Structure formats: C-alpha cells, structure tokens
Amino acid sequence: MSLNPGVDYVLCTKTTYMGEAGVTYGFVLGFPGCLLSISSKALAGAGFSHTRTTYALNGATPLAAIQSMLADPGVTAAQAEQTARELAAAVPGSRVVELARLAALRVKTGWFSRGIYYKQPGDRGWSGLPLADGSASAEAFAKFYASQLRE
C-alpha cells in the first residue's frame, strides 16, 4: 500500500533559507512527529569568492530520491521517515525539527508569509522554514499540522 500525501506525509518541493551551509535551496518534508528541511544545493562565500554545492544521491537530486521513495508502494510511513532522517543527516545544511520538543508551532499561509514557524523552549524569537511552492502547499501543511499548532 502506497503512502498518502496529506495523511502520511506532506511535501513542499521548494524552499530557500539561510543556514550554516550558506543560502540553501531545497525542500521541506513533514511527518506527524517531525519536519525535515533537506538541501539540494547551497551557495556560500563572500566578496569575490563563492562556492556552489549541488547534492546528489546515486545521480539523482535529493528531491527526486525522496519523491521516488514516497511513490514506492512497498515503503511504509515509518521506513520513509527513517530514510528521510538519514538523508537529512547526510546532506549538509539540512534540518530536522522534532515537533514534540517545540514550545510553539504555527503555519502561515498568507500572501507575504508562507511557512512553518516554530520556537524551541527558551527561544525568544521564531525560527522558520519558508514554503515557496505556493498557497496550496502552505494550506496542505496547515491542514496536516492543524492538531499540533500551538502559540
């Protein structure tokens, strides 16, 4: 039985954020217990010196690898989450956010601000993962995490 988007997972295929690897381009994958932001490429440097890094797994982009895994009817939700966590650990600049540890979680679906915003315990400000796929993607994340939202 294959995984159901919006029930077993939620995916935004485009995000851009500033992280430890520089300006990072990638995607956001959500499971009921965690959010994963996985990098596809990064741009780092200053002045006249810049480094562009593109990540690949067996000749495919991380997004293509994840999408083929999610489409595989033999993969369970637990296997998909474990594989995605391993991929995030292997790709520099990726983030794993454990939802149970968060002090606050919100999903914004507005025109000027689409993304998932969270606070770790003790944080004064919000951290976020932009959802740049459009309003349908942001709405899917809002629906998927509706029971876990907290201010």
Sorted by where each starts, the structural domains of the chain and their CATH numbers stand as 10-148 (2.30.29)
Give the global pTM.
Answer: 0.89
One-letter amino acid for residue 86 of the chain: E
* DSSP-derived 3-state class of residue 85: helix
Q: CA-to-CA distance for 104 and 116, rounded, in angstroms? A: 11
Please give the chain's pLDDT, 151 residues, in tens: 678 888 999 999 999 888 777 788 999 999 999 999 999 988 888 778 888 888 887 788 899 999 999 999 999 999 999 999 999 998 888 899 999 999 999 999 988 889 999 999 988 899 989 998 888 989 999 999 998 877 7
Q: What is the distance, to the nearest Å, from the Cα of residue 86 to the centroid of all Cα atoms in its chain?
A: 14
Q: CA-to-CA distance for 117 and 133, rounded, in angstroms? A: 16
Rg of the chain taking only CA atoms, in angstroms = 15
